């Protein structure tokens, strides 16, 4: 990867890891894509070295190459000397002894790193069983100690399954799993991606404290410069080998917003929608329930780009899943084109579901790693038998270009793409059937600023050119206010307010509320910490 800079030029102590001329490419013949070219860096014992750059610059390829975890289609050259051993030339049996023991990795998608079939404590214990001779009771004690260090010290977390944990708790579990053997080096790939500002601060504080207590070195990979500035002793900046597609600023004007609401035709009208869940945790009462939605009313104008904002746990995603027909509400109405969808039979709902496309926050979990990018995007077209194979291929190429992906990379497997590129893949797939409503559930939170702005421009362009109605869910009010025609604020399972986003007194009031919000305070705290 071209454009590498080191600050400062030399490490303060002898290198624990020394990487020289590392190059990674994918494909063969005339379809070779260079991901990393001639990269050099060192990591000293106990040091935090940051690798910073935008999505697609090769950061994750570096992390996976060091532990030989890249797919067979990848070509890796150079050297990576760890304690005198070249990681790139070790046999698989030798690497297995290193992975998780002397070198650990924290993947970008923690939910995918955890098994849904095993309890948290058992998963962490498996790492100890693979690398130590500790007895079962000793392993349990050590697991409890590391869970306590990541502030998950109660028995509830030891016995919990992955689906019973929040996003922040999953991040803490994979951190505990990476540190349980007290490795010399931890490779942390986007450890705060997708978290709101408050949770991001908590994870960064935790990494900093554990680094000092345990003495582990970190290779910290992030597209977020505030993360590397906060923790890293030194930083490598990676830049893309090819110029990224330029996006023309397409943020809506007041005239655009006026035209959307001039007729006030509603595509979706939600009335008195309520939803509750039975709590199924280990220590929950058999009849315990959580009221996720309380008599929610929400209007989404046809052709609009609407936003739904609120803190974690406010009910945003639950409301969106109900609107997208992914979950049934307990009571209330969801009116679409004059029909109450809650009253339709399953066979009738099947005809409506393709018109509602949902883009999840965790793109990796939504992709099949066995499929190529072309096959992934074309899959809904093939299922619904839309067009010939050649027509589907042309449609996929157009969608890849629209979402900032190189059509020439369409033959690559989904797991060969970076985190940001995976997010673009799921957006392209969601657009394939030309839906009436496109829902983005925190889909922008894990992207670097440039990629995120490009996707925001794409959303506005889709509204202008194709008239696709969109609902963007976010905890970042400042971000969505740049593009949204209307904004609904959600708290405690209720819509606190919904109003048009325009330069008016009411909008100024909303902005004042934003400045007083918890998120704004956390962002201020983060900038001060830097």
Split into its structural domains, the chain has a count of 2
Cα 460 to chain centroid, rounded: 21
pLDDT, tens digit, 9 for 90 and up, residues 188-243? 998 887 777 777 888 898 889 888 888 899 999 988 888 899 999 999 988 754 33
| Residue 100 domain boundaries | 5-237
CB of 175 closer than 8 Å to CB of 191? yes
Tell me, yes or no, whether 47 and 139 share the same domain: yes
CATH of the domain at 196: 3.40.50.300
358 forms beta bridges with 439
In a domain, 249, yes or no: no
Q: Within 270-339, where are the H helices?
A: 316-323
Query: Would you put residue 172 in left (φ > 0), alpha (ψ -120 to 50) or beta?
Result: alpha
pLDDT at 3: 44
Tell me, yes or no, whether 33 and 109 share the same domain: yes
Chain mean pLDDT for the chain: 82
Tell me, yes or no, whether 371 and 466 share the same domain: yes
Tell me, yes or no, whether 81 and 137 share the same domain: yes
186 vs 101: CA distance, rounded Å? 10
List the single range of 2-11, 130-139, 461-470 with lowest mean pLDDT. Answer: 2-11
The whole-model pTM stands at 0.66
In a domain, 250, yes or no: no
pLDDT band at 85 (very low <50, low <70, confident <90, very high): very high
Tell me, yes or no, whether 516 and 476 share the same domain: yes
Residue where one domain finishes, among candidates 177, 211, 237: 237
pLDDT at 429: 93
Tell me, yes or no, whether 402 and 438 share the same domain: yes
Cis bond leading into 3, ω under 30°? Answer: no
Q: Residue 150: which residues within 8 A CB-CB, separation 6 or more? A: 172, 173, 175, 176, 179, 206, 210
In a domain, 245, yes or no: no
Written as six digits, the tokens of 127 are 């790492």
Tell me, yes or no, whether 220 and 274 share the same domain: no
Tell me, yes or no, whether 293 and 429 share the same domain: yes
Please write down the long-range contacts of 324-328, taking CB distance under 8 Å and 24 or more positions apart: 324/356, 324/357, 324/358, 324/437, 324/439, 325/349, 325/352, 325/353, 325/356, 326/358, 327/275
Please check the confidence at residue 515 and state whether its pLDDT lies above 60.
Answer: no
Tell me, yes or no, whether 456 and 525 share the same domain: yes
Q: If you ran DSSP here, which 8-state letter would residue 488 be given?
A: E
How many C-beta atoms lie closer than 10 Å to residue 402's C-beta? 17
pLDDT at 7: 41
pLDDT, tens digit, 9 for 90 and up, residues 436-489? 999 998 887 767 777 778 778 878 887 887 788 999 998 888 888 888 999 999
Tell me, yes or no, whether 264 and 363 share the same domain: yes
How many C-beta atoms lie closer than 10 Å to residue 339's C-beta? 13
Residue where one domain finishes, among candidates 237, 266, 293: 237
Tell me, yes or no, whether 226 and 261 share the same domain: no
In a domain, 53, yes or no: yes
Tell me, yes or no, whether 312 and 351 share the same domain: yes
113 vs 101: CA distance, rounded Å? 16
In a domain, 242, yes or no: no
pLDDT, tens digit, 9 for 90 and up, residues 228-284? 999 999 999 887 543 334 333 344 554 554 455 445 789 999 999 999 987 655 445
Percent of the chain scoring above 90 in pLDDT? 42
pLDDT, tens digit, 9 for 90 and up, residues 390-446? 999 999 999 998 888 889 889 888 877 877 788 889 989 998 998 999 999 888 776
107 vs 362: CA distance, rounded Å? 12
In a domain, 248, yes or no: no
For range 9-22, the mean pLDDT: 76
234 vs 411: CA distance, rounded Å? 36
In a domain, 247, yes or no: no
In a domain, 243, yes or no: no
């Amino acid at each position: 990867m071209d454009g590498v800079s080191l600050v400062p030029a030399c490490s303060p102590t002898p290198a624990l890891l020394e990487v020289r001329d590392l190059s990674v490419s994918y494909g063969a013949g005339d379809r070779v894509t260079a991901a990393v070219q001639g990269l050099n860096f060192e990591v000293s014992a106990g040091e935090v070295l940051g690798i910073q750059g935008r999505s697609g610059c090769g950061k994750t390829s570096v992390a996976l190459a060091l532990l030989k975890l890249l797919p067979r289609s990848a070509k890796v050259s150079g050297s990576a000397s760890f304690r005198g051993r070249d990681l790139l030339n070790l046999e698989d049996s030798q690497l297995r002894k290193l992975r998780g023991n002397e070198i650990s990795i924290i993947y970008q998608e923690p939910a995918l790193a955890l098994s849904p079939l095993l309890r948290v404590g058992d998963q962490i214990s498996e790492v100890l069983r693979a690398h130590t001779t500790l007895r079962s009771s000793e392993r349990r004690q050590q697991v409890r100690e590391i869970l306590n260090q990541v502030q998950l010290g109660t028995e509830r977390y030891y016995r919990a399954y992955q689906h019973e944990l929040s996003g922040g708790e999953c991040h803490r579990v994979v951190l505990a799993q990476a540190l349980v053997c007290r490795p010399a080096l931890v490779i942390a790939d986007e450890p705060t991606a997708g978290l709101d500002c408050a949770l991001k601060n908590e994870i960064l504080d935790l990494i900093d404290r554990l680094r000092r207590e345990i003495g582990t070195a970190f290779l910290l990979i992030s597209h977020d410069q505030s993360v590397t500035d906060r923790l890293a002793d030194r930083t490598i900046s990676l830049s893309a080998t090819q110029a990224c597609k330029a996006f023309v600023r397409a943020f809506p004007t007041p005239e655009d917003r006026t035209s959307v609401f001039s007729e006030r035709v509603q595509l979706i009208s939600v009335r008195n929608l309520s939803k509750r869940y039975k709590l199924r945790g280990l220590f929950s009462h058999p009849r315990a329930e959580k009221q996720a939605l309380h008599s929610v009313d929400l209007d989404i104008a046809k052709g609009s780009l609407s936003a739904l904002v609120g803190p974690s746990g406010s009910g945003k995603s639950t409301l969106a899943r109900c609107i997208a027909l992914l979950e049934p509400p307990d009571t209330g109405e969801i009116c679409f084109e004059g029909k109450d969808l809650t009253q339709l039979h399953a066979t009738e709902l099947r005809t409506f579901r393709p018109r509602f496309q949902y883009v999840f926050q965790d793109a990796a979990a939504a992709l099949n790693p066995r499929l190529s990018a072309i096959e992934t995007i074309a899959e809904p077209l093939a299922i619904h038998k839309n067009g010939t194979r050649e027509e589907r291929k042309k449609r996929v190429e157009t969608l890849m270009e629209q979402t900032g992906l190189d059509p020439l990379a369409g033959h690559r497997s989904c797991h060969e793409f970076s985190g940001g590129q995976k997010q673009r893949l799921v957006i392209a797939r969601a657009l394939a059937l030309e839906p009436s409503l496109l829902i983005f559930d925190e889909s922008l939170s894990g992207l670097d600023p440039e990629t995120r702005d490009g996707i925001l421009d794409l959303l506005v362009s889709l509204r202008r050119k194709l008239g696709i109605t969109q609902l963007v869910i976010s905890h970042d009010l400042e971000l969505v206010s740049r593009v949204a025609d209307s904004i609904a604020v959600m708290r405690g399972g209720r819509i606190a307010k919904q109003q048009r986003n325009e330069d008016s007194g009411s909008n100024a009031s909303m902005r004042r509320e934003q400045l007083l919000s918890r998120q704004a305070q956390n962002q201020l705290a983060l900038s001060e910490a830097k």
